[in-house]
Amino acid sequence: MAHKIGIIGFGKIAQDQHLPSIRKNPDFELIAVASQRGLKPDEAKHAFQDYREMLKAVPDLEAVAICTPPQVRHQIARDALLAGKSVLLEKPPAATLSELQDMKLMAQKAGKTLFTTWHAQYNKAVHEAKKALAGWEIKRLQVTWKEDVRHWHPGQQWIWEAGGFGVFDPGINALSIVSFIMPEPVFIKKADLQFPANRDAPIAADIQFSCAHGQGDLNAAFDWRQTGPQTWDIEVETANGLQLKLREGGTKLEIGGKLMVDEPSEEYEGIYACFDTLLNERTSLVDEAPFRLVADAFMIGRRVQVEAFED
């Protein structure tokens, strides 16, 4: 039987990705939506403006996908788990590491599934990159994640508020690939965070990583002021000379200059296939690594004030 699911927060990502992926997947049935603005897709039998009403009023709801901004996810996830629902979390999974830990313990206690989704990890090219790098020492890592915030986040004020993570909102996608493909853990060694004079979240960040072994030259550059062509690339070089490049957000893989994988992105299809397995197996998947790197960058990062930014 299909899992009966509800969506909480019917914004851009819920409409662009969650709704079509659920529609395509026969293992899920969208039966309810909680939207503060009262939005509702046709197939949802139940619609609420307050998610708490949804949790109370729809007893056969098995799981919820929380697609709100991260600042409010913890309370919503708590309420859902206490109501006996399994929970899929959009990225980033919470506002703080302690909140994520709390959700993890609550899911264990409730015997429900908690799933931290990192959509960029669900690309074939990313999985092939992980395989190619397994066991090698990394000499060089260069992450370049530069995009136009005005294009990708029109009118979204929460991303500029404290806890909205600023440029780390897309940057965490790169970090979710890095933490997945690197053969050993990386750590934040240094971070320069550029905060516009009128904002509480950074518009750009330069990061230097270290790793447990080796003296690699490991860096990331995130920038939200990129107009023209957008760049979502990760280049890696191993000590034995293997050169690997993930392009276009992890959808294309080049090894030694040769295109090895070039497949259309089916990230959210992958997410819902994984959620189906987790629900059937009654297990959780909580991957904290990308979120921890962001927290560490804020913890040890140097704050630099830059020109005010207006949308």
Binding site for ligand NAP (CB under 6 A): 9-14, 35-37, 39, 67-70, 72, 90-91, 119, 156, 169
State the nearest-atom distance from the C-beta of 97 to ligand NAP, in Å: 16
How far, in Å, CA of 5 to CA of 31, rounded? Answer: 6
Contact of 237 with 230, CB cutoff 8 Å: no
Residue 4 annotated as catalytic: no
Strands 217-223 and 204-211: antiparallel
Closer Cβ to ligand NAP, 28 or 165, answer by number = 165
Closer Cβ to ligand NAP, 35 or 113, answer by number = 35
φ/ψ of 272, rounded to 5, equals -75, -30
Determine whether 2 is exposed, middle or buried from the number of CB atoms within 10 Å of its CB (0-12, 13-18, 19+): middle
Going from the C-alpha of 221 to that of each of 14, 33, 147, 185, 248, the distances in angstroms are 28, 37, 11, 19, 15
Residues in CB range of 14: below 8 A, 6 or more apart: 7, 65, 67
How far, in Å, CA of 213 to CA of 182, rounded? Answer: 12
Considering the candidates 91, 146, 245, 252, report the single residue annotated as catalytic: 91
Count of CB atoms situated within 10 Å of the CB of 226? 17
Q: Which residues of 253-271 are buried (b: 16+ CB within 10 A; e: fewer)?
A: bbbeeeebbeeebebbebb
Task: Supply 31's token pair.
Answer: 């039966």
CB-nearest residue to ligand NAP: 11
State the nearest-atom distance from the C-beta of 166 to ligand NAP, in Å: 11
Contact of 19 with 7, CB cutoff 8 Å: yes
Strands 204-211 and 186-196: antiparallel
Active site residues: 91
